[in-house]
Amino acid sequence: MFLLLFLVGCNDKPGAVKGLITWQYNKFVGTKPDVGSIVYLLPDNPGQNKISDDDASSYFLGTKIPENYYYAKVNGNGNYEIQNIKPGKYKAIIVSNNTNRDIVNDSYAKFFKENILTKYFSPQKSDVFDSIILYIHKFETKDIEIKPGSSIDLSHDFGNTYI
């Protein structure tokens, strides 16, 4: 009986995500920290935990984080860390602060907005997230799983800016 209670308790132990986010300044300067980039973690299956319109803007800015959603800003060294993450599957969205994407030829961004963002936000707030956070800047998404007590390294190099 004790072993069963111990194993059940272990499944609730929170995990963490950390990493280094960089970009390529030019061929002479090379890799630089992508200071000010943002990392969002959204639950893979939000169900009833879809973010309300009132809370969405605060979450985009990192001022109010709803339960089971996570946010981190990349520091001056290019590092970030999110702790106390409830075990489960998440959609990670890393948004560059220093690189721009090709907004004319990037078909993934439209797919992402229409098929993924609306899973978490109302259509109006999906438009806001897209136009304020994702429209110009490069972003990367990744499906991750936080296991009890684990720490995941989620790093990314955005390469050169489009323009």
Taking CB atoms within 8 Å and a gap of at least 24, the contacts of 24-31 are: 24/157, 24/158, 24/159, 24/160, 26/160, 31/157
**Structure tokens, 62:** 């990192």
Lowest mean pLDDT among 125-129, 146-150, 155-159: 125-129
Class (C level, CATH) for 2-157:
mainly beta
Separation in Å, CA 51 to CA 11, 38, 141, 161: 25, 18, 19, 31
Where do the structural domains in the chain lie, given as residue ranges?
Answer: 2-157
- Asked if the model's pLDDT at residue 65 lies above 80, the reply is yes
Q: In the beta sheet, which residues pair with residue 106?
A: none
């090709």: which residue's tokens? Answer: 102
* Residue whose C-alpha is closest to residue 78's, from 136, 38, 138: 38
Percent with pLDDT over 70 in the chain: 88
Residue 121: predicted pLDDT: 85
Please give the backbone phi and psi of residue 127, each rounded to the nearest 5 degrees, phi first: -65, -40
